Structure formats: structure tokens, C-alpha cells
Structure 1
Amino acid sequence: MGTTQLETAPEPKYWHLKTVLAEALDSEFAVGEILPNERELAARFGVARATLRQALEQLELEGRLQRRRGVGTTVAPPRMGVSVGSAQQGWPGASGDDWEAADSTPAVPPAAVARLLGTEADESVHIVRRSRVTGGQPVAAELLYVPTASVPGLSAVDLPAGPARARAVLRELQSLGLDGEEQAVELGSARADDAKQLDRLPGAPVLVVTTRYFAQGRTAAVAVATYRADTCRLTFGDSGDMEIRHQERRAS
């Protein structure tokens, strides 16, 4: 990692240093490699440690670095592409689905979700909780809302709340013919429950992907997936669809 002249930079020192550090991460470091400690880096670049910390914090927010307790600051893996608007549509839990079902319980959904489902404000639905892990790191959490009318066969299934019941809801849902999907993406802040599941602080930036599934001329289910904004990105193919891309950054 080289040095650079920061005294005459027209932009804030920490921001210029962030750019220099980012270039070094691409050319000199491999994914998972531990950076030198703050004292060494500050001395190398001739900046105060407070300036260095600002640059490192910004790179962490951008998903370029990860701070691991007891390990240090390491180079983060590339962001995972969020598959939105893909031509390959399918029910949650279908073959090739990378999500892990954790639980399913009956509850009244938020008012906004109830409006999408077309259910009564006080009507209980099946709520399936799922998570997605990449490289041992939690990257997304999902709540799948399924009205009772979409899975009538589930009434004959006597299973307690848990992964088995969640999988049963998904199996019943897949018996419907999928007419299509409608998706929306927005930037949000992690709520307390999502933050805990994603190993982030409450209020951390997240990508919220809402998917509305249609079958038999109505909304059959609604999924609200929360992705860590520091580990995920939106990628578009030539057709305008988004796709999952997973690459490893290599040291030059």
C-alpha cells in the first residue's frame, strides 16, 4: 500500500484517504485479509488517527470493509446481487431457492401488507420467517405473508410452529399455479428485529424488497425481504432484469 499527498487535496482529508484506501483494497488485498492496525496506517499516510477512522468507517458503510471483534478490520467479500425482476419467477421455497425457512406462526399482518393481500384489517394470516446466509454471514431476512385462503390444505396439517410448519406452508403455496409477480425496492432502516437477525445495529441502511405473488386472479402471498445494504447490491442485465452475481475479488 503506497502513500499519497493529502495536504493539498481540495476535498476533506478523510474522503480523499477513503478513495486511496479503496484503490489499495482492489490492487493489494484479498477478500478476508486483515488490514494493518490504525497506528501503522495513520503513520503511513501521515494523517491523524481520527481522520483514518473516518475513512475506515466510510468504507465499512459502503461494504468494502468488515470490523470483526477479536480479529480486526478485514476486506469484505463483493456485495451479493439482489434478484429482483428476474424472468425466472417462482414460488418461495421452490427448487433453487437459497432461503432457509425458520418459523411460521398465525398473526395479523401490518396494515400495508393487509391492503396488498386484500384481507380484513384484523384477519390473521400465516407468517413465514426465512433467512438467507452467504459465506457464513446473514445477508437478508424475510417475512412471507400467506392468507388462509391461499393454503386451504394446511388446515389438515397438524404441526407446531417452527421450521416444519414453515416448510408445510411453502409446499401448500407451491401447489397453486403462479400467474406472476410484482416487485418493488426501496432503501430503508433496519428495525430492531431485523437488525438483530442481520447482525447490524438498529437504523442501519437496508434494502427492502416487497414481492407480491398472484394466483387465481388475486394476490396469493406477499414477501417483505430486508437485505443488508452493506453486503448487497442491485445488478441489471442487458434485458433490464436483475440477476444474482457472485464473484471473488482477487489480489493483483
Structure 2
Amino acid sequence: MKARSPRLHPPADGPVRDGIPEHGRIPRYYAVKVDLLDVISELGQGAVLPTERELSERFEVSRATVRQAVGELVLEGRLSRRQGSGTYVAGPKLVQPLALVSYTEGLRRQGIQPGRNLISLERREAGPSLASELEIDPEDDVIHIERVLLADDERVGLESTYLTAARFPTLMDVFDPTQSLYACLRERLGVVFDGAEERVETVLATPREALLIGTNPALPMLLMHRTSWGTDGVPFERVRSLFRGDRLSFETRLGRVE
């Protein structure tokens, strides 16, 4: 493998130029990181990345510098580490639309097979906070569905859904937890989704969440909160979805503001 120094004199544009601080000095790890993007492109999805020693010799930098560059690419989802196996070139991120479509519909549009592992399906008392959002009494019951979300059998998220039990008295009898909840609500119970409010933020997973999703607790996660309502304007669903930031992104289409 021919050794070469990282690009410390970048072209006028591109990823290196974008990362140059105002003082003009490029951190060496960042230059290595950009060169690693070329290596990733050459290797292709699923290929094994050369070892730290090989990369440090190739770019004539320390292994600590290579480790920092590789670590950032892992956090960004360009690379994935497999314990005891090595570091691999990751596939493209999944795209989930910010729209009134289910997780199932969003993945199938990309040719990806969705799946779910059920953690909990239960009736429970709403409590003050959830009751306020669903406009019910704190003592009223909600149906709680918690599931690990899969994409082609890979764990990518954890979803907790709360629905007003009084509005859906037969849901637990007709719902198959391995299938789309929204399809069940529409096709079996005649529910019409008229609107929703959604908020997305970045968080770190709790130890329990990280264990269920099978991810590093230090990996940034995307947390989505959604409240949905029907044609009567009354909210009936509260969803908390936690997604791996290295494997999923959100997409929406914006229209012109008059």
C-alpha cells in the first residue's frame, strides 16, 4: 500500500475546504478523515477497512490520528464496527419521511423489509403528563405498545406508542404486533389520520434503550415525538421513536409560504 500524506492543501471546495477553520489550519485527523472517504468509495459497501496500522502507514500519521478519523466516520454512519471482526464500510442511511405514513410504508418505498420485535403490549394508567397530551383524565387507561424496529433484520430503533384505550377497546384483540399499527388502525378499525405534530431532537440512549437496540450508549440517537389526531381534532396517539443516528435520517418536502 503506497504511503501518502493527507491533503493539507485542499482544493477550493469540497469536504476538506468545508472543514477548514477561519485560521486556515486543517486538523490532521480531519484531512485523514476526508482521504478515508475516498478509501470508502473505492472499497464499496460491506468491505473491510484496512487496519489502523495500515492506514497510519499509508497516510504517514499516528494511529491515534487514524483512530479519531475512523471514530467520526463511525458516528456519521459511514463505517460500522463489529466486535472481534473489524471495521466495515456501511450502507447508505435509511430515509424516513416526516409525513403521515407509517415506519412500514417508509421503508418499503426504499425496497427495505421492515420488521418489529415486541417488547410490551399492555393497558396502563395514563398519568398526568400523557393525559394532558391526549386530553384525557390521568386515571384513564392507555394502550402501550413498545417494539424494537428492524430494517432487513437489523435493529435500527425503538418505538413506544400510546393510544387512548377508550377509543380503541378492541385494538389488543385485532392487532398483530409484528405488522404495521397504522395499517391495522386504518383497515381494521376505520381510523382516519387527519393531522399530527412532530418534533425531532438528538439524544443519547439510556442503558436499557441501547441494550434493546443493540447500539453503543455513546452513539447519538434521533428522538422523534409525535401526537396524532383524527377528523374530530381530538388527539388519540402519542409516539416516542428512538432511531440510530448512524443508520437513519429524516426527509420532508417544504412548500412555498404565501
8 A contact 1:125–1:145 mirrored in 2? yes
Tell me: CA distance 1:93–1:101, structure 2 relative to 1, closer, same or farther (3 Å). farther
Whole-Å separation in 2 of the counterparts to 1:191 and 1:110: 22
8 Å contact 1:129–1:166 — kept in the other structure? no
Q: Who is 1:5 aligned against?
A: 5
CA shift for structure 1 position 119? 2.8
Q: Distance in 1 between matches of 2:255 and 2:115?
A: 25
CA distance in 2 between counterparts of 1:7 and 1:101 reads 46
Give the match for residue 127 of structure 1: 144
Give the 3 Å change call, closer, same or farther, for CA 235–224 of structure 1 in structure 2. same
Matches within 5 A, 1:172-187: 173-174=185-186, 175=189, 176-187=191-202
| Cα distance between partner residues in 2 of 1:154 and 1:58 | 44
Q: CA RMSD in A?
A: 3.2
Counterpart Cα distance in 2 of 1:203 and 1:118: 36
Output the CA distance in 2 between the equivalents of 1:39 and 1:221.
52
Instruction: Report 1:200-215 matches (<5 A).
Output: 200-215=215-230
State the AA in 2 paired with 1:77.
Answer: G
What are the ranges of 5 or more consecutive residues in structure 2 without an aligned counterpart?
10-24
Deviations along 1:114-156, whole A, 9 cap, x unmatched? 321123334431111123222432111100101112202348x
Select 1:35's aligned residue among 49, 55, 59. 49
Equivalent pairs: percent with the same residue? 26
1:229 to partner: Cα distance? 0.6
Q: 1:22 to 1:199 in 2, by over 3 A?
A: same
- Note if 1:139 corresponds to 2:156: yes
The alignment partner of 2:166 has SS state of helix
Change (3 A) 1:184 1:62: same
Query: Which of the pair has the greater relative contact order for Cα pairs under 8 Å at 6+ separation?
Result: 1
The amino acid across from 1:20 in the alignment is D
Question: With structure 1 as the length reference, what TM-score do the two structures score?
Answer: 0.77
- Compared CA separation, residues 76 and 206, structure 1 to 2 (3 A): same
Distance in 2 of aligned mates of 1:110 and 1:37: 52
- Alignment coverage as a number of residue pairs: 231
Report if the CA contact (8 A) 2:116-2:148 is conserved: yes
1:83 CA drift (Å): 1.6
Task: Give the Cα separation in 2 of the matches to 1:134 and 1:2.
Answer: 38
C-alpha distance 144-93 of structure 1, shift in aligned 2 (>3 A): farther
Maintained 8 Å contact 2:115/2:151: no
User: Structure 1: how far apart are the matches of 2:69 and 2:181?
Assistant: 46
Are 2:76 and 1:62 aligned?
A: yes
Q: Aligned partners of 2:97, 2:84: CA distance in 1, in Å? A: 34
List per-residue Cα deviations over 1:36-79 (Å, max 9, x = no partner).
11111111111111111111111101111001123211001111
Find the residue that maps to 2:159 and give its secondary structure. strand
SS of 2:200's equivalent in the other structure is strand
SS in 1 for 2:251: coil
1:105 is aligned to: 122
Indicate the residue corresponding to 1:76 in structure 2. Answer: 90
User: Which segment is superposed worse, 102-111 or 193-202?
Assistant: 102-111
| Contact 1:142 1:226 survives alignment (8 Å) | yes
Gaps of 5+ in 1: 241-252
| Structure 1 residue 203 displacement after superposition | 4.5
Is residue 2:62 matched to residue 1:45? no
8 Å CA contact 1:151, 1:172 repeated in 2? no
Q: 1:6 to 1:117 in 2, by over 3 A?
A: same
| Distance of 1:7 and 1:184 partners within structure 2 | 39
Q: TM-score, normalised by structure 2?
A: 0.76
